[in-house]
Structure 1
């Protein structure tokens, strides 16, 4: 094995991991921002949901913009 976490060497699992991480970061940042500004838990929940969706969309967009040769896994060589 030449480095990397073994489950993330599969390109589909790595892509899913990237999308989930952007989803969680977007939800966390949006929820914290709205909770800090408004203090209302309902709005913080809605902001976390919207932030999660936007984070996942951003993660997918980043994956689609990555050139194919960079997205190729180690098994392609």
Structure 2
């Protein structure tokens, strides 16, 4: 990996960042979708939690699917 944010050059921090971003994106999208079709606050809350969980699962799946040579650190701090 060349360049980039110094904190995200660490492999574990970058993976955590990716997962957190997918959690937030999943929660936002499902919250917006359910808010458009539902009046109940409980349904909205459940949808946000489920969306976050699905986003996290998608983030982990994307990280595992990436070829190992693309995930390697360059070690050049």
Q: Same fold (TM over 0.5)?
A: yes
Which blocks of at least 5 consecutive residues in structure 1 are unaligned?
Answer: none
Alpha-carbon separation, structure 2, partners of 1:4 and 1:28:
26
Alpha-carbon separation, structure 2, partners of 1:3 and 1:66:
19
TM-align CA RMSD: 1.3
Which blocks of at least 5 consecutive residues in structure 2 are unaligned?
Answer: none
Aligned residue runs from structure 1 range 53-68, under 5 A: 53-68=53-68
Alpha-carbon separation, structure 1, partners of 2:19 and 2:35:
24
**Over 6 Å off, 4+ runs:** none
In structure 2, the residue matched to 1:50 is 50
Higher helix share: 1
Task: Give the secondary structure class of the aligned counterpart of 1:74.
Answer: coil
Give the count of matched residue pairs.
Answer: 75
After TM superposition, the score normalised by the length of structure 2 is 0.91
After TM superposition, the score normalised by the length of structure 1 is 0.91
In structure 1, the residue matched to 2:5 is 5
**1:27-53 CA distances to partner (integer Å, 9 max, x unpaired)?**
010011101111221111100000000
